[in-house]
Amino acid sequence: MNRYPLITTLLLFSALRVTSSAADFKADVLPIFEKKCMSCHREPYKTSSGRTKKPKGKLILSTPEGIKKGGSEGDTVVAKDSAKSLIYTRVTLDKTHDDFMPPEDKADPLTADELKALKEWIDGGAETGDWKGTKFDAEGKKI
Ligand code: HEC
């Protein structure tokens, strides 16, 4: 039998708290990017009329490499520093600001829970795990 049940319980609880407070990329962050960002920030693709659509601001959020590389301004994701990460600062601006993401009326602003998950993910190191990227069909539906 364990001689220190209280200490063991406390340790177990603190361990659980540590794991549950860090946002999980695939479960918590990727769905935000897929739903609210990738319509404009994904790999170049051809529309049905044959035009090539390029990622806005040269920023691709649909692949791990794209997230690491960032957009034309750089510093898209600065691991462990959400305050320096454009991907976070631009979703937390005033909604009427020109730089606010997603642009007004194009996708819903991030909810408080989504902002929290995004911040935690960046401050926790911004790892993308075994995610290989998200692909879309010609209609823009996720495959
Ligand atoms: C309707 C299209 C659209 C959507 C949706 C959208 N963006 Fe953008 N985004 C743009 C355009 C256009 C630019 C380039 C002009 C600018 O910098 O504002 C841009 C630029 C950016 C930049 C700066 C890139 C650089 O280095 O210049 C970041 C960061 C960014 N977006 C993040 C996001 C995030 C995060 C989301 C989802 C929450 C998102 N965007 C959703 C259109 C979009």
Ligand 1 geometric centre to CA of 137 (Å)? 21
Q: Is 101 in the pocket of ligand 1 (CB under 6 A)?
A: yes
| Cis previous bond, 102, omega within 30 | yes
Ligand 1 geometric centre to CA of 34 (Å)? 13
Domain ranges for the chain, please list them.
Answer: 23-123
Residue 26: which of 34, 17, 38 has the closest Cα?
34
DSSP assignment of 95-110 equals TTSTT-SSPTTTSPPP
Can you give the pLDDT at residue 48? 83
Q: Which residue is it, tokens 């993910």?
A: 121
Can you give the pLDDT at residue 139? 78
Can you give the pLDDT at residue 21? 58
- Identify the DSSP state of 129: T
Q: Per residue of the chain (143 residues), give pLDDT as tens.
A: 567 777 766 666 666 555 555 799 999 999 999 999 999 999 999 888 899 999 999 999 999 999 999 999 999 999 999 999 999 999 999 999 999 999 998 999 999 999 999 999 999 999 999 999 999 987 788 99
Residue 114: which of 52, 60, 37, 53 has the closest Cα?
37
What tokens appear for 6 in the block?
């209280």
pTM of the model: 0.87
